[in-house]
A = this chain, B = another copy of it.
């Protein structure tokens, strides 16, 4: 099945029925995808403030009302507890399980955050004639912990996580321009070139996702990544939290172009 041409509602239905649980890169071309963080209300202010202070890695697309599973702005008839292909549950900062849905865990004090995802701008890169290696190679995007500190907020602090795409030298300025126009899904790269300069020791061993081939004549280009708040979350060890599994995003009904203004 060609998931790139399916509508977000069609893909979410397949996910909800348990028929699809793979990474969402390249699905529903042109539609924005989102990272998910679900927290008890007691932690929601610190988290929202962390996002406000780190807008490049944590651009908030929507915050659901306390206890609500229904998305209001980014999608119609979508259930935040069932419509992502894979969830992670963390207890006291430890990953205690991966699940296809999280209804059984739901609590009335949960607040859900949808955060912009760089998968959203990959369709724009493709349209601009710039190939995206992990889509080419059919795997998850490589993601790395860096030494770039986030601004802390309340109990949340940590370093930035980045996603990486190898880009041919001649295409880099265009890749920067295309993504800079989309600040609500991370915007411009945070770093171009030497992985060591931002604290990445081995580019072939990402901290999340899969390694991809870097060819001669290409530079690794790094974008702020929505896994950043997950890393901050783990470090703060809250009693309970739910996130998407890296690369397994929520697909919204909002087109990328609508996020440009």
Contacts and interface: CB of A to CB of B under 8 A. Distances in A.
Interface in A35-85: 44-45, 48-49, 52-53, 60, 63, 73
Interface string A174-218: 000000100100011000000000000000000000000000000
Interface size class for chain A? 10 to 19
Number of this chain's copies in the assembly equals 2
A1 interface: no
Nearest to A188: B261
Contact of A52 (B60, B180, B183, B188): B60
Most B-side CB within 10 Å, residue of A44, A52, A53, A151: A52
Contacts of A188: 261
B49 A261 contact: no
Nearest to A46: B45
A81 to B, nearest CB: 20
A5 to B, nearest CB: 32
A44 B151 CA distance: 19
A261 to B, nearest CB: 7
Contacts of A183: 183
A180 B44 CA distance: 31
**Chain B CB within 10 A, most for which of A49, A180, A183, A261:** A49
Interface of A: 44-45, 48-49, 52-53, 60, 63, 73, 151, 180, 183, 187-188, 261
11 contacts: A44-B45, A45-B48, A48-B49, A49-B63, A52-B52, A52-B60, A52-B63, A53-B63, A73-B151, A183-B183, A188-B261
Q: Which 8 pairs from chain A and chain B are nearest by CB? A: A45-B45, A48-B48, A52-B60, A49-B63, A52-B63, A44-B45, A48-B49, A48-B52
